[in-house]
Amino acid sequence: MSHENLDYQNRIRKQGFRLTPQRQMILDAICEGGGHTTFDEIFARVQAKAPAVHKATLYRNLEFLCDLRLVVSADLGAGRKVYEICHATPHHHLVCRECGKIEELAHHTVEPFFAQIEAAQNFAVDMDHLILFGTCPDCRNNQDKSP
């Protein structure tokens, strides 16, 4: 995924911060992952360009970028956490607990659910990255075929 068309400098500056070289490298490293990328993958890409950047710096900046909603993190279970650049529109994921397959789920699919929560609970759902766990069709078919 490319982030070249997103003006991070202005988005960060509007919130009273600046786009440091480390933050730019982290955003680039996430994009180089082509979507979901792990901390270790991001760290390896950043280290290749700037060996002086420490893991603590990466953790702090990832948290900062997530707080600003420029990056989203997703806990995929079993200790797997991935990062990706925020999409222009919210999107969600289906994660198979059996094989680990990840499928994107369009926001319009869960939007009525969010609206229902807001109407029933008077609670404004502020989520642009939902993960639902279950079993994919392939794994379900394999389970059905097992004796």
Which tens digits make up the pLDDT trace of 83-116? 988 877 788 889 998 998 889 898 899 999 999 9
Domain 1-86 belongs to what architecture? Orthogonal Bundle (1.10)
Which CATH superfamily, name and number, covers 89-147? Ferric-uptake regulator, C-terminal dimerisarion domain (3.30.1490.190)
Q: What are phi and psi of 133, to 5 degrees?
A: -100, 145
How far is Cα 128 from Cα 81, in angstroms, rounded to an integer? 17
| pTM given for the model | 0.78
Domain edges within the chain = 1-86, 89-147
Q: Is the C-alpha dihedral spanning 20, 34, 97, 89 positive or negative?
A: positive
The pLDDT tens digits of the residues spanning 3-31 come to 555 678 888 888 899 999 999 999 999 99
Element (H, E) at 120: helix 107-121
Mean pLDDT of the 113-121 span: 94
